[in-house]
Structure 1
Amino acid sequence: MNDRRQDIYKLIEKKRITEAIELLREVLTAEQPSLLPRLDRSADVYRHMLEFFVSGAPDPDRDRILANLRLQLLELCDELHRSIAIVSDSAQYYETVRIRKGFSDESLSGLFSLLQDNSRQPAQYEELLKTIFFRIWTAYGLTPEEQDAIVAAPTSLKPMLISALGLGLRTWWHTGDVTFLLGLIQNPHLEYDNRVHALVELVLVLETYPLHTRLFEPVIKIHLDAAQESFPLGAVLEQLYIRLFRAQHTERLTQELQEELLPAMQKIWSEGKSSGMQQDLERLFEKAASDPEWMRKMRESGIEDKMRRISDLQAEGADVVFGSFRHLKAMPFFSDLHNWFRPFSPEDPQVKALLQQTSALSDAALVLPYMLCDSDIFSLLFTLKLMPQESRSMALAQMGFDMREMQEQINEFKRENKAATGEKLSNTIKRYVENLYRFHKLFSRRASFYDVFAKDFSVPEVLNKYLSPDKTQALFGRKLLSLGRCAAAIPFLRKAVQTEPSRELYEQLGYAYQLSGNPSRALKAYNRADILSESEPGSWLLKQMAFCAGAMGRTEKAVELYLQLATQEGGDKRACLVAAALLMEQKQYPRAIELYLQYRDLTGREDLQMLRPLAWCYFSTARYEEARAIYQQICGGGSVLASDELNLGHCYAVASDRVQALEHYRKAVSLYGDHGLRDLIKAYRNDTADLAQAGISPDLQALYVDSMAQLFNE
């Protein structure tokens, strides 16, 4: 059935309305005849619209009517497939719908009253809270009374209710419920944080349903325009998308942190072993800076640069604690779906019971909302609850949470009156996105849910109106590029250069294409950057242009660019070596020799990077004496490779000095290591064509191989 659904979607997207109606009628007749009257009404509307079109009369409402009609057909298709899935699908959503008859028949407002009455009875309270969450999650069309009950619900519960609504909408689009969500954002009387939360859910729904979103765009605009009068829509959207981009980088960051950085640090600093959770990297850096020996070891091992980069990401708000808390989500509390969206509030009976345990927990509860998302706070407090009372403060300190220091930071935060500024907004968005990320990555039944973090975020066109076109697209593109998500950065950077073309933006677009494996488009972008530059292209741009030309097989262009890079003032002389290597790949050995010698003239030195390939170029152009002289020079030094002795042996073999040839082949055996003879013979056979060109016939080569096998097999 999913195939038929996708077929109908494609027809609607391509505006092949008649075919979509016919296919939908066929499926409805077989599966859900009760929906046929609605399809008939839509078909009548379309027939009348076509009659009006044929008459030639002006029809200013045609686009609006057509968009509404296509959306109605999409919803009919959705409702049909939802009803089919309810019968037998094993996903948690459909299981919940099937058993919903067992839920309380009490109205939603009545359930809220019962919840308040049972706040002192934990078991009843938890069951009611779960029922409310499931009721909203699976509603698929809230009644006006249910919508009013949500608006009138206790402030502390609204985040969970909005989450339930969004979770349901990401399972199945429902125009009425999307409109209600828009109304929450527009409502100036709703608490600010809950309006932010509603906007987060709306964005995720729109990202999930691109076709529905385009068709519903006029209504979305009306509500968001109204919301903008009392709500910083652009600022919230900008910060939200930055958070979403960062969230998609969390797994890679966690892997780098736990599998590379921390184990390496533990080897050179024993204190790292005492930390059960992620320490604050800035504080760790401060401690490390007081130990010069430790810092020296960090620099030598390459850890310092990684540590600084991750520290910078942490300062920007990256989710560096995900890996520390992921193993704490196995406790029974997180086996219930609704608890993943439960806000940490002092009014919550679960929270009250936890905080009554000890002052250490109460102190932690005051400061942790500024540091962690709700899900992680519950994890931490439940973990502390299991510890002996006298160990809790020490455990917090070992986890990197200095209560006194954090309280001072929060007091300063409040004194500076930042609560109503962007920092509070940023923290609100950060906490919710992290809650959502943990749910999609760690919930035991997460496979039942569409993972909003699994694909790139695109920013629907309807939302672009509220973002600054001259900076936001570039901001998003640069952020994604800095996170290594190059393919995702390209659409934003393309829009940015269309709005405000600049050398820097074209360089970034080119780099995104290059790292995405598209050198052709990368080179075009780099050429645009070169055109927009007020001076000669810099070393970085020349290097990237040359690389892309080489990757495209445009060897002559690549060599030209590498030479320009090598010879410009302050340029990279090593570019001669790269250009020569490209020519060697094309077997243009005489020109490669010229470039290696040019590198020697530019730098005034003969290093192994130049000598080894130069010697092989001499050998490949029958300049055997010059090749042998260089290989003798290399083999007389302290950095000899097995291939150097092998190639020197080739030079003697060409001169018919078999004794010297075999002597150097013998030296190669010892340099190859444990399987020296086997590796030598394999390397020798790889050079078969070159040796034949140098006059060593296949018969002679076979004799050399057998001689090596007998002489060196000791």
Structure 2
Amino acid sequence: MNEQAIQEQYQHIVNLLEQKRLKEAQVQLEAFLWNCNDWTLRNRLEQAKVSYQYMLQYMRQGINDPERQKLYRQLLAETWELAEQTRISLLDEVSTRYYHSLHKNKKNMVAGYGMSSWLKVLESFPDDMAVCQLMPDNKQSLDSALQRHEGTAQYLFLTTWGNSGWTAEEEQEARLYLESELLPVNDLCLFTGAILLSLMECFDPRKFSWLLDAATHADTQVNQRALVIIAIILHIHSSRLRLYPELMAKLSLLDEDGSFGKQLNRVYIQLLRSRETEKIDKKMREEIIPEMMKNVTIMRNMKYGFEENIDEDDRNPDWEKAFEESGLGDKIREMNELQLEGADVYMSTFAQLKSYPFFQNPHNWFYPFDMQHSSIIREFGLKPTGENAVLSLILQSGFFCNSDKYSLCFTMAHIPQAQRNMMLSQMTSQDLNELMDESKSSSLRQYALRPDVISNQYIHDLYRFFKLSQRRHEYRDIFKEEITLHRIPALKDILCKPELLATIADFHFRKEHPAEALSIYKEITDMNHADAEIFQKTGYCLQKEKRYKEAIEAYRKADVLKPDHVWTIRHLATCHRQLRDFATALEYYRKAEAMQPENRNLPFLIGSCLAEQERYEEALQCFFKLDFMENDCIKAWRAIGWCSFVSGKFEQAMRYYNKILALKPLSTDYLNAGHAALLLGNMEKAAELYGKATSESGNRETFLEMFDKDKEMLIKLGVDEKDIPLIRDLA
């Protein structure tokens, strides 16, 4: 069997299990196993089949078995596990993916050399480093300690990744890592990364149970990583957890006080936000960076608050004006806002800096940034001083994810010393003192230790691994997928709470995903927890989806709960106008005008509704009012021109069209002015204006299309229908 056939056969079995067609799934799995040499799997399937046959036989005989559902669930779980192990075993023989080379190597491991022995090596590392720091000149002992530690960590990572299912003994050994007080936190974080990759390939209840324990670990670095991984694994294996009541109970217990649900919901939003990274990346590459390059002179002359204020009045105000007029100011402010909310704004910058040898090893993408990593010590020494101390401080902040911190270090190391000195000299002594100030550096470190910052930066690390690592095409990229954690059966009781759902819906609402926001707002409404704001947002989403009748229903509910809110009234008017119910739209617009008499847009909208009802005299009064409120209001002039024309006031229409033609005319303005000239009997002027309308519209066909739309109106106003083909040819 080739790789595609194996995957298709496995997926067919999974589909049967999801439909609870266990008997058929077992038959298909038996055929699947004929291609596999693992007799252990065949024996396990035979036992599962016999158990199911006995269960069905007892049922046929009418025997009441209180354990029936429990056994049925166990058989579903066992059959699914066997199908997964069979798939992996078959792929080991044909797939070139890195995972399968790791999985095959597990069989060749030395007996007695496992997780417990690796733990002892890793636990000894802090003591080894302490000794090395006492003997700074003994480079050999330092290299030896680093090599032993990093080699062991790498071996632990790769063997855990390649292990498709822990034994009970291995699970116990893994728990020692959580309980150890000597194990460096970074090594435990690396271990959780390996468990993520392993679980993505194959669901293992023992590893998932370990993750649930890791989510309560005392160290924030560990528990936040575990939280992110739990979210990802439940997204990938959304149907599996319900087959393991003990895991469901453990998950439920975690959320006893509701805090786990709030944290998981925050991670949910962070995962959703990560899907916006490509848009941000594109904006950075195509808009912001090119704009910065164009405006480099302006930016060089700008002051950003680092300088002394002695010559404050010497700044040329034209620089700032030019900066704002370029549009760059708004774009940079937008990026700052995105960064503050946790968006990944550095992806485009650091994507080009992942070709260093360090990133060729998969485990290094998961290792938290560590100044004591051999690759960092090699470049900056064991105890960074001077410029390296400044860099060290910046790297301790939470501004960059771990992967980008390594990239930054390697990039800095490759910059010649003279250029590094020049970069450092750009910072004044005041800036340096501020950076090195204990209270400032302490606040930077505290920010980096916040749970929300750690989980967000970890998601950024994962995003880079799945998008940029050498073997990225071998991994399932969850960042391309729609993520709906609140719909996963195992998380229903944890995340399906109105206050949590509202934050997810509001995220989609802010990011202009109306369909996604709408479905969640409807769920909140079905729970009878909707307030006026929820109904307003529901209406707005429906309006964006062009479902105007449903939008009106939602807005009316909002109006009942929060009467006479001008925003609701205006949107009700807009929806009625879109449905061409101009009479009702007019009522709402008049109501809004009574609340906002100074609003300059409302007279225009009221006038438009009146004009659509052919109440041209009343419409003209509205447009004259708008013309009075605003100077040189072309929008009002166009409306006055057209209403005057269709109501037979051709001279008034011509007067206003002449005002428009003197400013910023469109092709339709030339066309309508031509109509006015035609009805005034000025055929030569009409021909000239129609000619300009043709050239402005780009081609003859567009002009004829516009002209024909007005044909009925021209006939109604007295133009002979037989003359119309001739008039069109005057252009």
Fold-level match, TM-score > 0.5?
A: yes
1:388 aligns with 2:412: no
1:683 corresponds to? 703
1:177 corresponds to? 207
Alignment of structure 1 residues 373-522 onto 2, 5 Å = 373-392=401-420, 394-395=422-423, 404-408=433-437, 411-412=439-440, 414=442, 424-459=450-485, 460-463=488-491, 465-466=493-494, 469-497=497-525, 498=527, 500-515=529-544, 518-519=547-548, 521-522=550-551
Question: Would you say the 8 A contact 2:157–2:363 is kept in 1?
Answer: yes
CA deviation string 1:473-530 (max 9, x = no partner): 2223223332344444345434444363211222233334444565555444333222
SS at match of 2:207: helix
1:120 aligns with 2:177: no
Give 1:306 shift.
4.3
CA deviation string 1:10-55 (max 9, x = no partner): 3333333344344444444566784444344434444455556567
Question: Would you say the 8 A contact 2:76–2:243 is kept in 1?
Answer: yes
The one of 163, 166, 176 equivalent to 1:142 is 166
**Cα pair distance change 1:266/1:82, threshold 3 Å:** same
SS at match of 2:165: coil
Give 1:580 shift.
6.2
Distance in 2 between residues matched to 1:66 and 1:580, nearest whole Å: 70
1:197 corresponds to? 225
Alignment of structure 1 residues 244-643 onto 2, 5 Å = 244-264=271-291, 267-268=294-295, 270=297, 272=299, 292-356=317-381, 359=385, 360-371=387-398, 372-392=400-420, 394-395=422-423, 404-408=433-437, 411-412=439-440, 414=442, 424-459=450-485, 460-463=488-491, 465-466=493-494, 469-497=497-525, 498=527, 500-515=529-544, 518-519=547-548, 521-533=550-562, 535-538=563-566, 540-551=567-578, 557-558=584-585, 560-570=587-597, 572=599, 574-575=601-602, 577-578=604-605, 588=612, 590-591=614-615, 594-595=618-619, 597-601=621-625, 604=628, 607-616=633-642, 621=646, 623=648, 625=650, 628-629=653-654, 632-635=657-660, 637-643=662-668
Question: Would you say the 8 A contact 1:111–1:128 is kept in 2?
Answer: yes
1:213 corresponds to? 241
Distance in 2 between residues matched to 1:566 and 1:67, nearest whole Å: 64
Give 1:596 shift.
5.2
Deviates more, 1:164-173 or 1:297-306: 297-306
* Aligned amino acid, residue 89 of structure 1: S
Alignment of structure 1 residues 52-91 onto 2, 5 Å = 61-91=67-97
* Aligned amino acid, residue 665 of structure 1: Y
**Cα pair distance change 1:152/1:462, threshold 3 Å:** same
Distance in 2 between residues matched to 1:88 and 1:457, nearest whole Å: 31
SS at match of 1:687: helix
1:92 corresponds to? 98
2:114 corresponds to? 107
CA deviation string 1:220-264 (max 9, x = no partner): 343235556899634532442333233223332333345334544
Give 1:550 shift.
4.8
1:38 corresponds to? 44
CA deviation string 1:254-277 (max 9, x = no partner): 3334533454455456264799xx
Distance in 2 between residues matched to 1:478 and 1:222, nearest whole Å: 30
Question: Would you say the 8 A contact 1:344–1:351 is kept in 2?
Answer: no
* Aligned amino acid, residue 711 of structure 2: L
Give 1:137 shift.
0.8
* Aligned amino acid, residue 157 of structure 2: F
**Cα pair distance change 1:565/1:81, threshold 3 Å:** farther
SS at match of 1:565: helix
Question: Would you say the 8 A contact 1:573–1:603 is kept in 2?
Answer: no
Question: Would you say the 8 A contact 2:661–2:669 is kept in 1?
Answer: no
Give 1:375 shift.
0.7
Deviates more, 1:36-45 or 1:524-533: 36-45
CA deviation string 1:91-112 (max 9, x = no partner): 3323443566677774344456
Question: Would you say the 8 A contact 2:118–2:156 is kept in 1?
Answer: yes
Distance in 1 between residues matched to 2:452 and 2:8, nearest whole Å: 41
Alignment of structure 1 residues 663-682 onto 2, 5 Å = 663-668=688-693, 672=696, 679=699, 682=702
Distance in 1 between residues matched to 2:708 and 2:257, nearest whole Å: 78
**Cα pair distance change 1:549/1:354, threshold 3 Å:** farther
Distance in 2 between residues matched to 1:11 and 1:220, nearest whole Å: 23
1:10 corresponds to? 15
Give 1:193 shift.
2.7
Give 1:379 shift.
0.5
**Cα pair distance change 1:631/1:404, threshold 3 Å:** same
1:646 aligns with 2:671: yes
**Cα pair distance change 1:222/1:387, threshold 3 Å:** same
Distance in 1 between residues matched to 2:167 and 2:546, nearest whole Å: 51
Distance in 2 between residues matched to 1:430 and 1:564, nearest whole Å: 46
Give 1:440 shift.
1.8
SS at match of 1:638: coil
Distance in 2 between residues matched to 1:544 and 1:225, nearest whole Å: 42
**Cα pair distance change 1:101/1:59, threshold 3 Å:** closer
Give 1:704 shift.
4.8
Question: Would you say the 8 A contact 2:693–2:703 is kept in 1?
Answer: no
1:694 aligns with 2:717: no
SS at match of 1:120: helix
2:189 corresponds to? 159
Percent identical residues: 24
> Could you list the runs of 5+ residues in structure 2 that have no partner in the other structure?
129-140, 178-182
SS at match of 2:13: helix
Give 1:458 shift.
2.1
Distance in 2 between residues matched to 1:553 and 1:94, nearest whole Å: 62
> Could you list the runs of 5+ residues in structure 1 that have no partner in the other structure?
709-714
**Cα pair distance change 1:483/1:394, threshold 3 Å:** farther
Q: What is the Cα-based RMSD across aligned positions, in Å?
A: 4.4
